[in-house]
Amino acid sequence: MRGNATLLTSAVENVIRNAVHYGRPGSEIAVELAAADGRAALTIANRGESLRAADLQRIFEPFYTTKEVGEGTGL
């Protein structure tokens, strides 16, 4: 398997942090890692609130965030 450990760690931490931030009280976050034939698949799921349609359309815009100033870097 190949990948930049620092960048992968940062991406996984960010996804999990968002799942915690947007999750409903008492909800669970599932993290699953499967590896086969030199490949890995990471699945992170929660039952938190979904993004609004207007936000979902913009999530890949540079510097776009749904968070208030001082609350983190956002999506």
CA distance 65 to 67: 5
Does residue 1 have a pLDDT over 70?
Answer: no
pLDDT at 44: 86
Condensed to tens digits (0 to 9), the pLDDT of residues 25-74 reads 777 888 999 999 988 899 988 776 666 778 778 878 887 877 777 776 65
For residue 18, how many other CB atoms are within 10 A of its CB? 19
Radius of gyration in angstroms for the set of CA atoms belonging to the chain, rounded to a whole number: 14
pLDDT at 46: 77
Does residue 2 have a pLDDT over 90?
Answer: no
Write the secondary structure of the chain as one string of H (helix), E (strand) and C (coil): CCCCHHHHHHHHHHHHHHHHHHCCCCCCEEEEEEEECCEEEEEEEECCCCCCHHHHCCCCCCCCCCCCCCCCCCC
State pTM to two decimals.
0.59
